[in-house]
Structure 1
Amino acid sequence: MASTKPILISGGGIASLLLAQALRLADIPFKIFERDASFVFRAQGYRLRLSNEGLDAIESVLDAPTWEKFWNKCGKTGGVGFSAFNAVTGEQTEHIVPEGLASRGGKVVGIARGDMRAVFAGGCEDNIEWSRNVTGYELTGDGVRAIFSDGTKSVEGSMLIGGEGIYSKVARQLSGGKLKVYDTGSRGIHGQAPSTAFKGLGEGVFRLMDNTRPEGAIMIITNIRPGDMDDPNIQFGWTMGGRPGAIRAPNDDYSIVGKEAAKIAKDLTQNWHPRFKPLFDEMDEENAAFWKITCSTPSGVPEWPNEPRVTVIGDAVHSMTPAGGIGANTAVRDSALLGRLLREAGGFAPGVTAAYEKEMRIYGSAAVRESYSTAVGQFGGKIDEATTPTV
């Protein structure tokens, strides 16, 4: 029998919001607790590439109007493939058309994280409590309460889903510390610029590599879709990544955003070929932000004693590097799987979290291993589970 107590969701990222959509459409009550004051409180990150698995998971959750809105927000890059360039000389070093990049219709499908978050929040806004930082939980006789950083507690829920990312306190408590996120030492910067700044590259998926820096190699990845390159009001994004020591923030403060982060990106690329300079010269400085390249345990998602009323989704359970664009696609698979199990059960039911975790561990572990092994080649920063620091 369905419980009238809401399902509590910690964090308002894409995995949490997609799960909320599944609950909303199944008429299962829920509440979302988001630590930020709004969706525009901080930079939303880079553009996400969506695989067939990710798109299938999203479509399985959304109703037809919301799916259409989401699909229309996605950019579809044609089958021109992947090109790599020497960022300093401008010389093309590689061109391939790998099947793995494309998804529906032979297109590379991508969407900005902020756009994705906004679509998934549709119809759920009244269920979001802002500035609510979840630091743990307590089980009651027949429910659970979230505990906030100010010491207050939430209403009693039938379940708690931890979806608050790599710093998840819910994940730490639930797993007894078994869920860990390692700091690889590699760093990056997110940036974006008017689409007109990308015209020198054209349509496709591009990697710009600079191996000349003594501190270590850095590179840019960007996905440029057609149709919008003449409209300066539309922005495209890029993601910079570097090996350990190659990208440094003042005082190692990687919470820096805005003009200070933008200036560092411009300084790092000041000797790049003129063809690529507009990406930085014309960048939207306010939206620049640092990020750490982190990864969950490369050997796979660990096991912990199942708690029927608490589980975790997305980066809280399987954080990944940006290599291969696997993380977001795996996170939405979590939302679709857990949402389906809850819909079928009519809400909380014994066995739901165990069934979810059993299946999630299989595809989640495989995704983490693939992401990590790819990132070692691109960014360095190998993880030794005995000595590498955690976040």
Structure 2
Amino acid sequence: MALTTQKPILICGAGLASLLLAQSLRRASIPFLIFERDSSISFRAQGYRLRLSSEGLDAIESALGSAQFQRFWDMCGKTGGGGFGTINAITGEKMSGSGPSNNAGQTKTSGRGPPQESLASRGGKIVGIARGDMRRLFMEGCEPFVRWSHRVAGYEVSTSGVRAVFEDGSRSVEGDMLVGGEGVSSRVAKQLSNGKLKVYDTGARGIHGQAPTTAFKGLGEGVWRLADETKPNGKVFVMTNVRPGDMDDPDVQFGWTLAAQPGVVGAPNDDYTIVGKPAAEIAKALTRDWHPRVRTLFDEMVESEAAFWKITCSTPSGVPDWQNEPRVTVIGDAVHSMTPAGGMGANTAVRDSALLGKLLAGSGGYKEGVTGAYEKEMRVYASEAVRASYGMATSQFGVAISEDSPTV
């Protein structure tokens, strides 16, 4: 990044949306600084694999540029098929009426069972990448501009710029603009929206994990939903993507996401951010009576990569309006948290990064009106995504939230 007297764009959080925005700014030679609460990129297990939609891939390509996107594309796994296959986790048998579909670009909501999602994105393939790999690639070139162990508590706007305020009471250098991308617990989002941006605890719980690809050989290629409806308090199911070519290599890992309906499982000491062996033990206990065909995913899991989490959702009606602040805005989970249903969260977050990055690049950096233009367009596609994700989650996860539901 060239030397400049221009004040930086301050970015809170070093997750996927924040780092992709930083890549877009780097390409446009717009200075930036990133403040991240963790002490390093390897501080926490990254856990799970993300499925990328056409819109998500287009956004990533727009932000990275053709050369870096090609590297990203080469890292992605490509799986055939257009829909989920569902396996009874207790019997190991494929459930009738499940399997690949050809409904590209559609979400089937009629008929029996949960909505059938269209999974294919480019070239008729289902495209996915491990979150950790994605984050490391987005970090490349941004390392000198990341300030680790900085927990953002809010911001201060002046006539000349904006500063991040940290939890210890210290302040950042003055920037031209500040972007809150620090996730569902974003203090920036709460301050900017005056409390209008809310993230609800759905009551559902999840565990992300990984295992050597050889543990998945009993499934075969495809995108699979493993369903257990025998638990007394509700359903448990797992989603995973098994791509060809790697199943004989024990040095390669596939990821899975386990989800349980509200009331099925809690966490020790109500700690919903536990990682490693304690989270792995919960997953193993939940799947102890599953068929050997699918239980290998948990018996052979890499315990250090397990992560337990609350399943949250923003206001289902969509992203609310708030009084625009020209120098401050929010991206990703900070503005539109979604359930895993539909795999829309990360894809919507990278759209934020690409859109805001494009607007900033087009104006040569901060300019009054940029945040207003971004928020106007973001509210449309993000509200649609939140409503769709919540709609699928009501059937898949058995969740129901209202204005009276607990927030996080």
Q: TM-score range by the shorter chain?
A: over 0.9
Instruction: Name the counterpart of 1:268.
Output: 286
1:74 aligns with 2:91: no
**SS of alignment partner, residue 311 of structure 2:** strand
CA distance in 2, matches of 1:3, 1:353: 22
34, 39, 49: which is aligned to 1:47?
Answer: 49
CA distance in 2, matches of 1:320, 1:81: 21
Structure 1 residue 80: Cα displacement? 6.5
298, 301, 317: which is aligned to 1:280?
Answer: 298
Q: C-alpha deviations, 1:229-274, integer Å up to 9, x for none?
A: 1111111000000111112212222122111111111111111111
| 5+ long unaligned stretches in structure 1 | none
117, 122, 144: which is aligned to 1:104?
Answer: 122
Instruction: Name the counterpart of 2:219.
Output: 201
CA distance in 2, matches of 1:343, 1:211: 50
- Matched to 1:61, the amino acid is A
- Matched to 1:225, the amino acid is R
| 5+ long unaligned stretches in structure 2 | 105-117
Instruction: Name the counterpart of 2:323.
Output: 305
Instruction: Name the counterpart of 1:331.
Output: 349
Instruction: Name the counterpart of 2:107.
Output: none
- Please list, as runs of the form range in 1=range in 2, the aligned pairs for 1:58-73 lying within 5 A after superposition: 58-73=60-75
CA distance in 2, matches of 1:135, 1:45: 26
- The percent of aligned pairs where both chains have the same amino acid is 68
Instruction: Name the counterpart of 1:220.
Output: 238
13, 29, 32: which is aligned to 2:31?
Answer: 29
**SS of alignment partner, residue 99 of structure 2:** strand
CA distance in 2, matches of 1:335, 1:379: 29
1:289 aligns with 2:307: yes
**SS of alignment partner, residue 105 of structure 1:** coil
- Please list, as runs of the form range in 1=range in 2, the aligned pairs for 1:239-278 lying within 5 A after superposition: 239-278=257-296
- Matched to 1:38, the amino acid is S
CA distance in 1, matches of 2:52, 2:7: 34
Q: C-alpha deviations, 1:337-374, integer Å up to 9, x for none?
A: 00000000000001000000000000010000000010
- Matched to 2:405, the amino acid is T
Deviates more, 1:111-120 or 1:88-97: 88-97
Instruction: Name the counterpart of 2:186.
Output: 168
CA distance in 1, matches of 2:306, 2:81: 29
188, 194, 199: which is aligned to 1:181?
Answer: 199
Instruction: Name the counterpart of 1:384.
Output: 402
CA distance in 2, matches of 1:81, 1:329: 18
Classify 1:178/1:80 alpha carbon distance in 2 versus 1 (closer, same or farther; 3 Å): closer
CA distance in 2, matches of 1:249, 1:305: 38
93, 99, 106: which is aligned to 1:95?
Answer: 99
How big is the alpha-carbon RMSD for the aligned residues of Structure 1 and Structure 2? 1.1
**SS of alignment partner, residue 301 of structure 1:** coil
CA distance in 2, matches of 1:128, 1:289: 24
Q: C-alpha deviations, 1:63-104, integer Å up to 9, x for none?
A: 333112111111000127420011001121122324220000
Q: Do the aligned residues in 2 keep the contact of 1:188 with 1:247 (CA within 8 Å)?
A: no
CA distance in 1, matches of 2:284, 2:184: 28
**SS of alignment partner, residue 320 of structure 1:** coil
TM-score of the aligned structures, taking structure 2 as reference length: 0.94
- Matched to 1:262, the amino acid is A
